[in-house]
Chains A and B, each alone.
Chain A
Amino acid sequence: MARHIPAWLAPTSLEEALELRARYGEEATVVAGGTFVGILMNQGLLQPAALLTLRQIPQLAYLRIEDADASGQPLLRIGAMTTHRALERSPLVQRGWPVLAATFALVASPRVRNQATVGGVLADADYASDPPALLHALEASVVARSLQGERLIPVEELIIGHYETSLRPDELLTEVRVPRTMEGAVYRKFRSRSSEDRPCVAVAAVRRRGRLRVVVGAVAERPQYFPEICALAEGQAPIEAALAREIGERYAAAIEPISDARGSAHYRRRVIAVEVRRALEDLNRIIATEGGSQRHA
């Protein structure tokens, strides 16, 4: 059987890209940085009728700060085609959202980060990527554009399953919006194999206006968040040792972990309890000593 060769669609404006997206829908695979698409195609897991690249739309790569939050807090707006490296090396991001810069710097290797984009990693909805859990914990949203207009989707509602998002087949993810970190934020990446590996267990913990938000990534088909467990920390700052342990144990009990090459479900459950507790200890320390945010590798 002859090999099917996909059409190469390379629009040079967003309008043109949206028209192609509407016309081709799921027939065309969207290529942002192309790392995930490249891996899938090498493995023979993806044979699309067309490839729709956004690489030639320079307006989709930018980093801007805006005072758009209702409380007057600045909002970071990231163009979907911004690479991981551009984000991690931006002085603007390092100063205002240090946890974001530090977390993107933990992804894979410099090669992958030079190619992979912020929009791509969210649209892939890969359970084992670092950024989704952190962006969920930071209450980030994405802008989904189509010929019909645009809608704002919280990351929490964007990633709905295993490599599955709530984007419609005619929509393109064009921007990520991240509110200010507020009191403190941490991201812990627990690796079970090597330094450039994906996380076995990832924990993002954020305190905003007194509320705690803990999101565990890489352990299930989508990031795991339990508001009712986080509510135990209501009004508790710093979080005492016994409470930190309890929240860790409750997260471990509430999550149904997957097994993969980075760890069995049994192993992950034990690591979740420990890593959530450690994230809360880190958060206490950061709020007490730095009044800001920091990463923990």
Chain B
Amino acid sequence: MAAMEIHFTLNGQPVAVQAEPDEMLLEVLRRELGLRSVRETCGLGICGACTALLNGQPISTCILLAPLAEGCDITTVEGLGGRHPVQRAFEEVQAFQCGYCTPGMILTIKALLEEQPEPDEETIRRALGGNLCRCGCYLKIIQATQRAAVLLAEERRRQVERSAASTS
């Protein structure tokens, strides 16, 4: 069977890409779409360096057959724009050294905080259990998650105030 065309939404934009049916989404994101934030490390779905959000939920792109992304909404860290509260928290806290694992961490934390805006430390640790950082920045990453929760809460409060001001 020849290459097939796969359609999905990437960071808010519809895309159509060529892929073989036995290729993983990771290869397609890197080769066809030039995304470098998704990284192959273990190839087993264990380390989290290839994390993307599929319909808002983190998945391992290294073990997702590319055609399974058909019709889905895919988000990579490029789609967050650089000033997302989780990204700002990572900068403020300096929650990285080499930065290799950071995109996967940020996406996992974004999904966690959307589900649970005020997670306790145990919940954060469990959510990040499948994202490995070989520099060992775990304590800083947990602090960054807590800081991101505060920044997101502030953002929500400002939105409420703005919508209240515009309706009064």
Instruction: Please list the residues of chain A having a beta carbon within 8 angstroms of any beta carbon in chain B.
Output: 5-8, 10, 31, 34-35, 37-39, 41-43, 51, 53, 55-56, 85, 108-112, 114-115, 194-196
Instruction: Decide if A109 touches B4 in the complex (CB within 8 Å).
Output: no
Q: Which of B75-115 contact A (CB under 8 A)?
A: 108, 111-112
Instruction: Decide if B48 touches A109 in the complex (CB within 8 Å).
Output: yes
Chain B: CB-nearest residue to A112 = B45
Chain A: CB-nearest residue to B111 = A110
Query: Using an 8 Å CB-CB cutoff, how does the interface string of B57-73 with A read, 1 for contact, 0 for none?
Result: 11110111101101000
Instruction: Decide if A110 touches B108 in the complex (CB within 8 Å).
Output: yes
Instruction: Decide if A42 touches B130 in the complex (CB within 8 Å).
Output: no
Instruction: Decide if A111 touches B51 in the complex (CB within 8 Å).
Output: yes
Contacts of A7 in B (CB 8 A): 1, 21
Chain A: CB-nearest residue to B131 = A109
Instruction: Decide if A8 touches B126 in the complex (CB within 8 Å).
Output: no
Residue of B22, B43, B62 touching A51 (CB-CB under 8 A): B22
Residue of B21, B45, B54 touching A39 (CB-CB under 8 A): B45
Instruction: Please list the residues of chain B having a beta carbon within 8 angstroms of any beta carbon in chain A.
Output: 1-2, 4, 20-22, 24, 43-46, 48, 51, 54, 57-60, 62-65, 67-68, 70, 108, 111-112, 125-127, 129-131
Known contacts: A8-B21, A31-B68, A109-B129. The answer to whether A114 contacts B45 by CB under 8 A is: no
Instruction: Decide if A34 touches B65 in the complex (CB within 8 Å).
Output: yes
Contacts of A110 in B (CB 8 A): 57-58, 108, 111-112, 127, 130
Question: DSSP majority for the A interface?
Answer: mixed
Q: Once the chains are docked, how many angstroms separate the CA of A5 from the CA of B21?
A: 7
Q: Once the chains are docked, how many angstroms separate the CA of A195 from the CA of B48?
A: 14
Known contacts: A6-B22, A8-B67. The answer to whether A195 contacts B60 by CB under 8 A is: no
Contacts of A51 in B (CB 8 A): 21-22, 65
A-B contact pairs, 10 of them (CB 8 A): A5-B21, A8-B1, A42-B43, A85-B57, A109-B45, A111-B59, A111-B130, A115-B60, A195-B125, A196-B129
Shortest CB distance A128–B (Å): 13
Contacts of A39 in B (CB 8 A): 43-45, 63
Contacts of B68 in A (CB 8 A): 31, 34, 53, 55
Contacts of B4 in A (CB 8 A): 8
Residue from B62, B67, B131 whose CB has the most chain A CB atoms within 10 Å? B67
Known contacts: A31-B68, A196-B129. The answer to whether A41 contacts B54 by CB under 8 A is: no
Shortest CB distance B55–A (Å): 9
Residue of B1, B21, B48, B70 touching A111 (CB-CB under 8 A): B48
Q: Once the chains are docked, how many angstroms separate the CA of A41 from the CA of B27?
A: 13
Q: Once the chains are docked, how many angstroms separate the CA of A110 from the CA of B128?
A: 8
Residue of B43, B51, B108, B130 touching A108 (CB-CB under 8 A): B130
Contacts of B111 in A (CB 8 A): 110
Chain A: CB-nearest residue to B52 = A111
Shortest CB distance B44–A (Å): 5
Shortest CB distance A51–B (Å): 6
Shortest CB distance B153–A (Å): 22
Contacts of A5 in B (CB 8 A): 1-2, 20-22
Contacts of B48 in A (CB 8 A): 109, 111
Contacts of A35 in B (CB 8 A): 45, 60, 63
Known contacts: A51-B22, A110-B58. The answer to whether A115 contacts B130 by CB under 8 A is: no
